[in-house]
Homo-oligomer: A and B are copies of this chain.
Amino acid sequence: MSQLQEVGFEPDGSASPGVGTGSRCWVLVLPRAAGEENRQVDSMSVGGTNGPAGCREKVLTLDSMNQQVKKVEYAVRGAIVLRASAIEKELQQGMSKPFSEVIRANIGDAHAMGQKPITFIRQVLALCTYPQLLCDPNMPEDAKARARKILDACGGHSIGAYTASQGIEVIRQNVAKYIEKRDGGIPSCPDNIFLATGASEAIVTTLKMLVSGEGRARTGVLISIPQYPLYSAAIADLAAVQVNYYLDEEDCWALSVDELRRALRQAGSTVLPGCVCVINPGNPTGQVQSRQVIEDVIRFAAEEKLFLMADEVYQDNVYAAGCQFHSFKKVLFEMGPAYSDLVELASYHSVSKCYMGECGYRGGYVEYVNLDPGVKAELVKLVSVRLCPPVSGQAVVGIITDPPQPHEPSHHTFQEERREVLGALAERARLTEEMFHGVPGIRCNPVQGAMYSFPRFDIPPKAIAAAQAAGQVPDMFFCMKLLEETGICVVPGSGFGQREGTYHFRMTILPQTEKLKVLLTKLKCFYRDFVAQYS
């Protein structure tokens, strides 16, 4: 007899009958003859009507699937975050915990942590979405003007139409003007700008263009350690070779060309290095590289004939006194034509970070400098396969690169909101640094920029043994315990890479100030107890 049976799905994808933490489904459960479990059904027996359930090996299995995908890892949405979601459901179901909510300090998701959207951005977007609002007297005129400009550039005046695959031209013009202004007048051309589904897509696309060769000629990609795991994930997916260079924790995560050279030397003849990636301001490490470092990296790229990828999505997130954001492009052009005519550079920006935090819109762009025209044509073709980036995300790019001007009605509010967000982040960067300071066993570099602290912490040998016994790396063991006991969700340093024998975690500075204080206090107490427990 067949029957309907309620089945739960666990976060790991497995099904469990009866109560579970995940979603519930009714599935038709069919009778199964004794001894028919796991029998291989060949193509002849399939024609029958009494075939048993689930007894043929699947076509797509862990063994048969794309093995590169299995090598992909992405810690900021990994095991710890799946467990955080499960705990949230347990709390909803009334399970008793020593905390009332999970604080997600694992990912740079500003709105989720209570940051308010910038009013002007949302007004323009609402006007683009539902143009009947263009008659609404409550909507400011500058927002209406921006919306009309975007709609005029859309097919059928609708943001529901596809756009050019490279992105809407007037928006790319805005971006070019924004970059020119940022870089003190150095020219930027809309034709070198590609809008994208977030900076992530643009980064993966550049890497896809770059990776080629087999064996020793396979493309090597130099990435910082610690790194943002998008890079290692894309490198694994593309079967490229990851070449690690280490940032100097003792020197506030500075990048040194000596270390780049060491990494290149060590990769030796086993790979053909093609590209060097720099994240500035740093993720997960929160440092802001000096102008000198950037110049050194450019010189290194020129000398070693490497394509330069500059991940500059935190370009407005600079907090520390004496620190300043220097774009790779500006420094490149200031170094003169010997470099600016030679070095191939891609610089990425996003609407997800800075003061906007509009992660959900998946908007971003890349500007290419010195890209070979033939390669550019191939790139245009490649991005055309995904048709176009989401138009609402393109619109956000268009708005932030064409913000209200001093004479316009929304200027004051826009600037106030921007200042407030960046001011609060600066305050929380300072607070984080302060709170970790003086905790025995924890050392944290200043959060000069971006949205993260990446403190190093000692783990007692007994805790390391306990982690090994639990089959976990020590920092994962710590972060899982922290989550289970306090509800605080941070990401183990092993997900970003760290020097052998050191342990870190990445924590965002995004929780609202009062919540961040509570979080930091809880974290300090937890760490103290953890050390005591395993001493």
Contacts and interface: CB of A to CB of B under 8 A. Distances in A.
A93 B129 CA distance: 30
Nearest to A198: B387
A535 interface: no
Contacts of A43: 302-305
Contact of A155 (B53, B109, B197): B109
B22 A191 contact: yes
A485 to B, nearest CB: 23
Interface string A327-354: 0000000001111011010000000000
A2 to B, nearest CB: 8
B189 A373 contact: no
A259 interface: no
Interface in A144-169: 154-156, 158-165, 169
Interface stretch (A66-74, A422-430, A466-474, A492-500): A66-74
Given A53-B337, A392-B390, A162 B208 contact: no
Interface in A185-240: 187, 189-191, 197-198, 200-201, 204, 208-212, 230, 233-234, 237
Contact residues on A (Cβ < 8 Å of other chain), bracket: 35 or more
Contact of A299 (B47, B136, B339): B47
Count identical subunits in the complex: 2
A378 B62 contact: yes
A58 to B, nearest CB: 5
Nearest to A189: B25
Contact of A69 (B49, B53, B208): B208
A46 interface: yes
A523 interface: no
Interface string A228-269: 001001100100000000000000000000000000000000
A34 interface: no
A130 B130 CA distance: 11
A187 B26 contact: yes
A201 B390 CA distance: 12
Given A66-B210, A337-B30, A361-B392, A370 B58 contact: yes
Contact of A191 (B25, B74, B344, B392): B25
B13 A210 contact: no
B359 A211 contact: no
Contacts of A237: 382, 385
B336 A362 contact: no
A165 to B, nearest CB: 6
Nearest to A391: B360
Given A54-B341, A125-B130, A360 B212 contact: no
A339 B204 CA distance: 38
Interface string A409-441: 000000000000000000000000000000000
Interface stretch (A110-118, A311-319, A398-406, A456-464): A110-118
A210 to B, nearest CB: 6
A173 to B, nearest CB: 8
A-B complex: 7 closest residue pairs judged by Cβ atoms? A112-B155, A51-B338, A360-B391, A126-B130, A111-B158, A25-B189, A13-B377
Given A46-B299, A65-B212, A67-B212, 17 more contacts: A4-B187, A13-B377, A25-B190, A27-B187, A30-B341, A58-B370, A59-B344, A61-B372, A65-B209, A69-B381, A69-B382, A104-B155, A110-B161, A160-B360, A360-B392, A361-B391, A362-B391
24 contacts: A13-B373, A13-B374, A23-B169, A25-B176, A46-B302, A46-B303, A47-B299, A49-B336, A49-B338, A60-B375, A65-B378, A66-B209, A66-B210, A69-B209, A74-B381, A78-B381, A111-B160, A112-B154, A113-B155, A125-B130, A126-B133, A133-B133, A230-B385, A359-B387
